[in-house]
């Protein structure tokens, strides 16, 4: 990640792809539904005033900006602004998804880390990587990741799903929680399941990971077989949890989420595939 805020004279930049972020969200081409826009063209077309600009290797530039156009004027030119979170939820293209995840994580962290937490000196905006260094005490800072675990518990033809108060109405998902300090991901998985629903699980089967920068979660997903215990909900952690038959599942999280992929992997394995919305 390299700050390029003071150097737009470089002609090579003109045709480079860029992601434009305003206070309201990410700028999207309404016709193609893509946020990957041609840097020079869009700056002129939408009357963009650049606040910060970052070069990121072969990836698109990351631009924070304001537009001189109103939302109506922007719409007439074929563009609109969406919240990055809702855009990511509906996005299927994994390559673009990864660019946006990285950009949002970077910008959130960049805006928070204004001063050195060790000596209080203001951190300079110019840097060459995702490392930021305090000019005064030389302490290094890197973007924060908060690791969390997700567990999908299976019992024959059923899965245990729960819902939090902040989920959309009717949506259930695999159980999840943050890893505590000094804990392994596996220990966290067993502990979270026991705390949230009171059941015990057997050996964990690794499924995959996903970064989710709202604000900085890094999710490690597992599958596990049920061992023993009846569901006893911790109301401080979740609103509800139930066993669901694989042929009769509730509303599930969005297709782009790792929780959805985790649940679908069990559906596929059990050949009970139905298209759930």
Residue 124 in the binding site for Zn ion (CB under 5 A): no
- Binding test (CB under 5 A) with Zn ion, winner from 49, 68, 119, 145: 119
- Binding test (CB under 5 A) with Zn ion, winner from 4, 48, 116, 161: 116
Tokens 């019992």 belong to: 155
Residue 48 in the binding site for Zn ion (CB under 5 A): no
> Count residues contacting Zn ion (CB under 5 A)?
8
Residue 247 in the binding site for Zn ion (CB under 5 A): no
**Hey, which residues does 50 pair with through a beta bridge?**
65
d(CA 264, CA 209): 15
Q: Per CB under 5 A, which region of 126-134, 178-186, 187-195, 244-252 contacts Zn ion?
A: 126-134
Residue among 123 and 224 whose Cβ is closer to Zn ion: 123
Per-residue string for binding with Zn ion, 130-159, x by CB under 5 A? ----x-xx-x--------------------
| Nearest distance from C-beta of residue 144 to Zn ion, angstroms | 17
HSE-CB for 15 with a 13 A CA cutoff: 1
Residue among 5 and 113 whose Cβ is closer to Zn ion: 113
| φ, ψ at 177 (rounded to 5°) | -170, 160
Residue 118 in the binding site for Zn ion (CB under 5 A): yes
- Residue 211's closest CA among 109, 58, 67, 61? 109
Give the SS3 label for residue 12. Answer: helix
Q: Is 56 left (phi over 0), alpha (psi -120 to 50) or beta?
A: beta
């Amino acid at each position: 990640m390299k700050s390029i805020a003071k150097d737009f004279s470089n002609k090579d930049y003109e045709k480079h792809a860029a992601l434009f972020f305003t206070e309201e969200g990410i700028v999207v081409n309404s016709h193609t539904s893509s946020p990957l826009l041609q840097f020079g063209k869009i700056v002129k077309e939408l009357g963009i005033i650049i606040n910060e600009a970052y070069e990121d290797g072969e990836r698109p530039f990351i631009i924070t900006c304001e537009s001189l156009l109103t939302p109506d004027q922007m719409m007439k030119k074929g563009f609109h602004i969406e919240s990055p979170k809702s855009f990511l939820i509906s996005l299927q293209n994994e390559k673009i998804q990864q660019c946006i995840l990285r950009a949002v994580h970077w910008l959130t962290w960049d805006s928070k880390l204004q001063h050195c937490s060790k000596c209080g000196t203001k951190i300079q905006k110019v840097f060459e990587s995702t490392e930021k260094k305090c000019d005064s005490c030389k302490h290094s800072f890197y973007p924060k990741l908060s690791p969390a675990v997700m567990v999908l518990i299976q019992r024959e033809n059923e899965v245990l799903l729960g819902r939090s108060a902040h989920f959309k109405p009717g949506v259930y998902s695999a159980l999840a929680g943050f890893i505590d300090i000094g804990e392994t991901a596996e220990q966290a998985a067993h502990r979270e399941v026991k705390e949230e629903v009171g059941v015990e699980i057997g050996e964990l089967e690794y499924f995959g990971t996903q970064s989710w920068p709202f604000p900085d979660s890094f999710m490690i997903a597992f599958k596990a077989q049920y061992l023993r215990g009846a569901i006893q909900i911790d109301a401080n952690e979740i609103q509800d949890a139930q066993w669901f038959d694989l042929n009769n599942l509730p509303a599930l999280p969005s297709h782009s989420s790792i929780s959805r992929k985790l649940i679908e992997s069990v559906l596929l394995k059990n050949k009970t595939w139905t298209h759930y919305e």
